[in-house]
C-alpha cells in the first residue's frame, strides 16, 4: 500500500513492558511505594510469616522437643498495588520453647493493601518433650511437631498456606516429630531417626532462577519446617527453606530457623532445657515496569487523520475476548446444617472461544453483579441470590443461595446453592441454560446421621459436594488468564455443620462453612465466590454474603478504549501477550471505544 514513499511495515502503535524489578522487604515498613513505571498497578507478591520456635526436651520420659512449624506462605499473582504506600509487617520468629511450654508461635506477616490485604499466619510451636502426658504441637501457618502434630493452614486460605506438623506414634521413643513446611507436612517420629521438618516451597518460577541477590542462603525456597529433637541416633534435618535441624541430647537446643525465610526451629535434644527460635518472615514484590512505544512505520494519511481525531489508532471495529462472572450466592441460615452459596455464573471466550466484535466510537454499559445478601434465622428462604453480570450480549447469572436448616433446598442459579440438613437438595446450576455451561449444581444433604452436615454450593468446574459423611466442600471454580495472570474464579461455598469445622469453600473465592456457633465466611470480592453456609442461633447474625463478580475485556494493542468510573482499570500486557489491552471492571461502569 502507499505509505508516503517510505517502504516498511504499516503497524499501529502499542504499549508493552520491559524488564521488571523485585523488592525484598525484610523489616516492617509503614509504606512500600509502587514504582512509577509500574503503570499496570499489578505485582506478584510473596508473603511469608515468621517461623515458630522448637520445643524443649527437658525433663520427663516423653522424649525430645518437636520441630517448629514454618510461617504461612502465600504467593499471589497480579495483586493490585495502589499508587499510595502499602504498609508491610514482617513477622518475627517464635521464641524458643521451655520445659512446660511449646515453642513460641511466629508472628503474622501482612502486605496491607487496603482493598485486599494478604496475611500469612505465623508458624505453630513445637511441643516439649517433658511431662507424663502427650504434648501437641501448636496450630499455625504450618503446624508444630508433637506427639500430635499441630494443624497447618490455620486459619484456612486457598491455596493452602502450609501443612500440619508430624506426630509421634510411641511416647516411649526418645525422639520427636518435625514441624510442617509450606510444601510438605512434618515427618512423623517412629523411633530413630527423629522426624525431619517439612520441605518449604520454591518461588524461582515466579521471581527467577537462583542465584538472585534477594534470595539469601536458601536459593529461592522459603518456609521449611524445623526438625524434631532426639536422644540418641540420627539427627533430623530441617526442611529446605530455612528449617532448623533438631538437636541430640542436652545441651543441644536445636538450630534456629534461618532469618527472613519463615523457617521453623529445630527441637531441643533429650534433657535439653530449651528449643531454638524460629526465623523471621519476608515479603517479595515483583513489579512489571516500563512503557515503550512499538517501532514501525505509519502512513502519512493515517497520521493526519488520527491527529485530527486526537488519536493515533483507528476507531474501526475490533474483536475482544471477555470474562463475565456474576455475583456469588449467600450462605443458608440456621444453627449448623445450612447449605453453602452457589458461585456466580462463569462465561468466557478466553482462550479459543468466540469473541465479541465492538464498534469504534461507542459506549458499552458493563454490569458487575453484587454478591447475594445473607439472611437471618428463622427464615424459610435460602440465602440471597447473587446479581447477574452483563457485558454486551453476554449475561452470567448470579449464584443460588444456600439452603436453610432444616430440609431446605438450595436455590438455582449460575451455580446452585447447597442443600440443608435432613434431606435438602442442592439447587440446579447453569440456570438458565447456556452453552458452554456457566456453572454446576449444589450438593445434597443427608436425611439423617449422628451429626448435622449440609451440602456445598456448586462451582464453575464442579458440583458442590454432598453433606455426607462430612459437610460438603464447595465446588471448585475455574482458572483463567485473560488478565495476563492465572486467577481462579467462581468457587462454591462450603456447607456448615452443627459441631466441629465447616467445609472449605471451592477454589476461586468460595467461603468456608460455619457451625452452630459461628457464621460462615463470605465469598471473596470480585471472584463470584459463594458464601459458606450457617449462622448462629435464631435472631442473631445473618448468614454470610456472596462475593461480587467481575468483568474483564481483552483487546488487541491497537484498540482504543477507556473505562469509567476510575475504580475500573485499563492495563497493557507485556510480552508474550503482544501488548494486548485489558479492561477490568470491579464495579459497574462504561467501556468507551
Which 3 state secondary structure label does DSSP give 504?
coil
Reply yes or no on whether the pLDDT at 78 is more than 50. yes
pLDDT of residue 301: 64
Confidence of residue 53 (pLDDT cuts 50, 70, 90): very high
Q: Say if residue 241 is in the same domain as residue 320.
A: no
pLDDT for 490-532, tens place per residue? 999 999 887 778 889 999 999 999 887 788 899 999 999 999 9
User: Which range marks the domain in which residue 540 is found?
Assistant: 315-593
pLDDT for 168-182, tens place per residue? 876 666 678 999 999
Q: Would strands 389-391 and 363-367 be described as parallel, antiparallel, or unpaired?
A: antiparallel
Reply yes or no on whether the pLDDT at 433 is more than 60. yes
Q: Say if residue 463 is in the same domain as residue 402.
A: yes
pLDDT of residue 295: 41
Q: Say if residue 108 is in the same domain as residue 245.
A: yes
At 204, phi and psi to the nearest 5? -65, -25
Q: Is residue 231 part of a domain?
A: yes
Q: Residues 513-542, buried b or exposed e (16+ Cβ, 10 A)?
A: bbbbebbbbbbbbbbbbbbbbbbbeeeeeb
Averaged over 90-113, what is the pLDDT?
93
pLDDT of residue 293: 39
**11-25, 219-233, 490-504: which has the minimum mean pLDDT?**
11-25
**50 or 572, which is more confident:** 50
Q: Would strands 29-32 and 86-89 be described as parallel, antiparallel, or unpaired?
A: antiparallel
Alpha carbon distances (Å) from 331 to 376, 425, 474, 529: 10, 14, 11, 11
pLDDT of residue 288: 67
Q: Say if residue 383 is in the same domain as residue 244.
A: no
pLDDT for 327-365, tens place per residue? 999 999 876 788 999 999 999 999 989 999 988 778 899
Averaged over 379-408, what is the pLDDT?
91
First-to-last C-alpha distance (Å) of the chain: 27
Confidence of residue 277 (pLDDT cuts 50, 70, 90): very high
Task: Give Cα 106 to chain centroid, integer Å.
Answer: 20
Q: Is residue 444 part of a domain?
A: yes
pLDDT of residue 313: 45
Averaged over 54-62, what is the pLDDT?
70
Cβ neighbour number for residue 451 with a 10 Å cutoff: 17
Cis before 351 (ω within 30): yes
CA distance linking residue 543 with residue 528, whole number of Å = 17
Q: Is residue 306 part of a domain?
A: no
Confidence of residue 62 (pLDDT cuts 50, 70, 90): low
Q: Say if residue 396 is in the same domain as residue 502.
A: yes
Q: Say if residue 351 is in the same domain as residue 396.
A: yes
CA distance linking residue 438 with residue 432, whole number of Å = 9
Q: Is 472 exposed, middle or buried (0-12, 13-18, 19+ CB in 10 A)?
A: buried
Q: Is residue 294 part of a domain?
A: no
CA distance linking residue 237 with residue 267, whole number of Å = 10
Q: Is residue 304 part of a domain?
A: no
Reply yes or no on whether the pLDDT at 8 is more than 50. no
Q: Is residue 1 part of a domain?
A: no
Q: Average pLDDT, whole number, for the chain?
A: 85
Cβ neighbour number for residue 250 with a 10 Å cutoff: 17
**36-40, 316-320, 436-440: which has the minimum mean pLDDT?**
36-40
At 302, phi and psi to the nearest 5? -65, -45
pLDDT for 281-328, tens place per residue? 999 998 865 433 334 455 566 555 545 544 444 456 889 999 999 999
Confidence of residue 274 (pLDDT cuts 50, 70, 90): confident
Averaged over 69-79, what is the pLDDT?
92
pLDDT of residue 449: 60
Averaged over 180-190, what is the pLDDT?
91
Q: Give the single-character DSSP code of 217.
A: G
Q: Is residue 432 part of a domain?
A: yes
pLDDT of residue 287: 83
Q: Is residue 177 part of a domain?
A: yes
> DSSP readout, 359-396?
-TT-EEEEE-PPPPPP-PSS-SSPSPPPPPEEETTEEE
Task: Give Cα 524 to chain centroid, integer Å.
Answer: 10
Q: How many domains does the chain have?
A: 2
Q: Say if residue 390 is in the same domain as residue 341.
A: yes
- The answer to whether 513 touches 531, Cβ cutoff 8 Å, is no
Q: Say if residue 382 is in the same domain as residue 267.
A: no
Q: Say if residue 364 is in the same domain as residue 252.
A: no
Q: Say if residue 277 is in the same domain as residue 329.
A: no
Tell me the pTM.
Answer: 0.59
Q: Which residues contact 324 (CB under 8 A, 6 or more apart)?
A: 345, 346, 347, 348, 389, 390, 391, 394, 395, 396, 549, 551
Q: Say if residue 265 is in the same domain as residue 362.
A: no
Q: Say if residue 553 is in the same domain as residue 591.
A: yes
Amino acid at each position: 500500500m502507499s505509505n508516503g514513499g517510505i517502504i516498511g511495515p504499516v503497524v499501529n502503535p502499542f504499549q508493552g513492558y520491559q524488564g521488571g524489578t523485585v523488592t525484598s522487604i525484610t523489616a516492617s515498613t509503614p509504606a512500600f511505594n509502587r514504582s512509577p513505571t509500574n503503570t499496570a498497578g499489578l505485582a506478584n507478591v510473596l508473603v511469608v510469616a515468621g517461623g515458630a520456635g522448637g520445643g524443649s526436651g527437658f525433663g520427663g520420659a516423653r522424649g525430645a522437643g518437636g520441630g517448629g512449624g514454618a510461617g504461612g506462605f502465600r504467593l499471589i499473582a497480579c495483586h493490585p498495588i495502589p499508587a499510595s504506600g502499602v504498609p508491610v509487617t514482617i513477622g518475627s520468629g517464635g521464641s524458643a520453647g521451655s520445659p512446660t511450654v511449646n515453642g513460641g508461635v511466629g508472628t503474622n506477616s501482612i502486605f496491607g493493601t487496603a482493598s485486599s490485604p494478604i496475611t500469612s499466619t505465623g508458624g505453630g510451636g513445637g511441643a516439649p518433650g517433658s511431662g507424663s502426658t502427650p504434648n501437641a504441637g501448636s496450630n499455625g501457618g504450618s503446624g508444630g511437631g508433637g506427639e500430635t502434630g499441630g494443624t497447618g493452614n490455620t486459619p484456612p486460605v486457598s491455596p493452602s498456606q502450609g501443612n500440619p506438623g508430624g506426630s509421634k506414634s510411641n511416647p516411649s521413643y526418645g525422639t520427636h516429630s518435625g514441624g510442617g513446611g509450606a510444601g510438605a507436612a512434618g515427618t512423623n517420629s517412629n523411633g530413630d531417626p527423629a522426624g525431619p521438618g517439612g520441605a518449604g516451597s520454591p518461588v524461582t518460577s515466579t521471581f527467577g532462577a537462583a542465584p538472585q541477590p534477594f534470595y539469601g542462603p536458601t536459593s529461592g525456597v522459603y518456609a521449611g519446617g524445623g526438625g524434631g529433637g532426639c536422644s540418641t541416633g540420627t539427627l533430623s534435618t530441617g526442611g529446605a527453606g530455612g528449617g532448623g535441624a533438631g538437636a541430640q541430647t542436652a545441651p543441644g537446643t536445636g538450630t534456629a530457623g534461618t532469618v527472613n525465610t519463615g523457617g521453623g526451629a529445630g527441637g531441643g535434644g533429650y534433657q535439653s532445657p530449651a528449643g531454638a527460635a524460629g526465623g523471621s518472615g519476608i515479603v517479595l514484590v515483583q513489579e512489571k515496569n516500563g512503557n515503550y512505544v512499538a517501532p514501525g512505520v505509519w502512513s502519512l494519511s493515517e497520521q493526519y487523520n488520527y491527529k485530527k481525531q486526537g488519536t493515533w489508532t483507528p476507531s474501526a471495529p475490533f474483536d475482544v475476548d471477555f470474562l463475565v462472572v456474576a455475583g456469588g450466592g449467600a450462605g443458608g441460615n440456621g444453627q449448623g446444617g445450612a447449605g453453602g452459596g452457589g458461585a456466580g455464573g462463569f462465561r468466557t471466550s478466553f482462550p479459543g472461544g468466540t469473541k465479541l466484535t465492538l464498534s469504534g466510537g461507542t459506549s458499552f454499559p458493563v454490569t458487575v453483579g453484587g454478591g447475594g445478601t445473607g439472611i437471618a434465622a428463622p427464615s424459610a428462604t435460602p440465602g440471597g441470590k447473587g446479581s447477574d453480570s452483563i457485558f454486551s450480549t453476554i449475561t452470567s447469572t448470579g449464584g443460588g443461595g444456600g439452603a436453610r436448616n432444616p430440609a431446605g433446598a438450595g436455590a438455582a442459579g449460575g451455580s446452585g446453592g447447597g442443600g440443608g440438613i435432613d434431606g435438602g437438595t442442592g439447587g440446579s446450576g447453569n440456570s438458565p441454560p447456556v452453552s458452554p455451561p456457566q456453572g454446576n449444581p449444589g450438593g445434597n444433604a443427608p436425611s439423617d446421621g449422628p451429626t448435622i452436615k449440609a451440602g456445598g454450593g456448586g462451582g464453575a468446574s464442579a458440583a458442590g459436594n454432598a453433606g455426607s459423611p462430612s459437610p460438603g466442600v464447595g465446588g471448585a471454580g475455574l482458572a483463567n488468564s485473560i488478565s495476563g495472570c492465572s486467577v481462579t474464579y467462581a468457587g462454591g461455598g462450603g456447607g456448615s455443620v452443627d459441631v466441629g469445622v465447616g467445609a472449605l469453600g471451592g477454589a476461586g473465592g468460595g467461603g468456608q462453612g460455619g457451625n452452630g456457633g459461628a457464621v460462615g465466611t463470605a465469598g471473596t470480592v470480585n471472584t463470584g465466590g459463594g458464601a459458606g453456609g450457617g449462622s448462629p442461633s435464631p435472631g442473631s447474625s445473618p448468614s454470610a454474603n456472596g462475593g461480587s463478580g467481575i468483568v474483564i475485556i481483552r483487546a488487541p494493542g491497537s484498540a482504543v478504549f477507556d473505562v469509567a468510573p476510575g475504580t475500573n482499570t485499563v492495563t497493557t500486557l507485556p510480552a508474550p501477550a503482544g501488548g494486548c489491552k485489558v479492561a477490568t471492571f470491579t464495579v459497574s461502569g462504561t467501556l468507551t471505544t
